[in-house]
Structure 1
Amino acid sequence: MNKQGFFITGTDTGVGKTWATVAMMKRLIRQGRRVAGMKPVAAGCEWLQGQWKNEDALLIQRHASVDLPYHQVNPYAYRLPVSPHLASNGAEIDIVLLHKVFTDMKQKADIVLVEGAGGWLSPLSHELDNAGLAKQLGLPVILVVAVRLGCINHGLLSWRAIQASGLDCVGWIAMCIDAEMAFADENIDFLRQRIEAPLLGVLPHDEQADFEQLSYSLQGF
């Protein structure tokens, strides 16, 4: 893949989008690329060093090869661990601001990975969802599928929703979040036959993330 950016979405919240994003960063950096990361909207933040900060956004900031201030990596940070449209207390998102931050990042990096919040149709505000943000930024999409009971339905619905939005789903990543799942390989194979986008990797279950090791489970970009 020779793109300048990707939008990373998932089949739900808590499916491993950040781990997949950081693993992608590691792989791209190993290829000699300058990589920046962005989580435009995040809920469930802690008050650190005079501002609200999100654990996932901090991971993205820490593992990028382009040094960026936190407020650029995560322009909208909300305290409550609920859907951003609720955590924001009704505040809207300035898409012009997000577009400017993304454009600035593109001047400094070869590739910018933008991680959404929640699933593809999860609201970021009362007027904007992840699908709308990806459209505004003009990014091809990578879908992270949580491999657990129900993943076939969730994976296919998400992929079809991305296709219906008119954006290009350029690949998907299987994230094995349930170590005890029966027939995990068979579920992944079923999805591989039906999602008309390449499987970019199967990330194994792990209690502690070894992002460098996870990056070797990815291919295709």
Structure 2
Amino acid sequence: MIKKKNYVLNQSLFITATNTNVGKTYASSVLLKKLSQEGFKVGYFKPIETGVVELPVDGSAMLELTKKLNPDFNVHIDFIVPYQFKLPAAPYVAKKDTIIDIEFLVKRKNELEELCDILIIEGAGGLMVPIMKDFFVIDLIKEFESKTILISPSKLGSINDTLLSQEALKNRNIDFEWYINLFEDKDSFDEVTLPFYKDYFDEINFLNDIL
């Protein structure tokens, strides 16, 4: 495989976060644009989206962006968001009687990878959001064998959530990078949260600085 900056061709990047409403879709858009600028043919996959009334809002927006960046990624919304549920809840709850087929999702991921150099996969909620009773988002990452991008918020309380999420990834031997999405408590972040991050981490990356 050919290395180019931090990523390589034929790689999938799984976008997850410390919780819901942290910025996974925004992070997906940022990475799609950045990787496209670097010369990669990008693709997008959201295995499960909840809160879908007519069309999946996040998946539709990202598919439109992806097609602009990579015209060869000519697929239908139902192909990149195969599981769509109306209830805005964890997939395990929102799916009701639907059986989510993990082998099918792995197969779909492999099919989409054929259409691009790097596939951006957007998860649902955080790492321990249940898909089945004993199967969580973090387990789906392991099944996909994807490098992971963890998005952390800038709000008060994010230190705890960030460290817990990183510990979970390390315990599963999942390769990951992490980025702070600076959008909440921006005025107090430098005083309340950043001092610990500077002392604890060798490197701090902000999602807003990628583009």
TM-score using structure 2 length: 0.87
Pick the aligned partner of 2:7 from 2, 6, 9. Answer: 2
- Runs of 4 or more, structure 1, over 6 Å off, are none
1:52-201 equivalence runs, <5 A: 53-64=55-66, 65=70, 66-169=73-176, 171-179=177-185, 181-184=187-190, 187-188=193-194, 190-191=196-197, 193-195=199-201, 199-201=204-206
Give the alignment's Cα RMSD to 1 decimal: 1.9
User: Could you tell me how far 1:2 is from its partner in structure 2?
Assistant: 2.5
Query: Could you tell me the percent identity over the aligned residues?
Result: 27
SS of the counterpart of 2:135?
A: coil
1:147-205 deviation per Cα after TM superposition (whole angstroms, max 9, x unaligned): 10101111111111111112111x11111231554134662453355357x544342xx
Give the partner amino acid of 2:184: D
Aligned residues: 199
Give the partner amino acid of 2:171: A
1:47-89 deviation per Cα after TM superposition (whole angstroms, max 9, x unaligned): 2xxxxx2211112211112232112211111001111111100
SS of the counterpart of 1:59?
A: helix
TM-score using structure 1 length: 0.83
**Distance (Å, rounded) in 2 between the aligned partners of 1:180 and 1:79:** 33
List alignment gaps of at least 5 residues for structure 1. 48-52, 204-216
Report the CA distance shift for 1:181/1:54 in structure 2 as closer, same or farther (over 3 A). farther
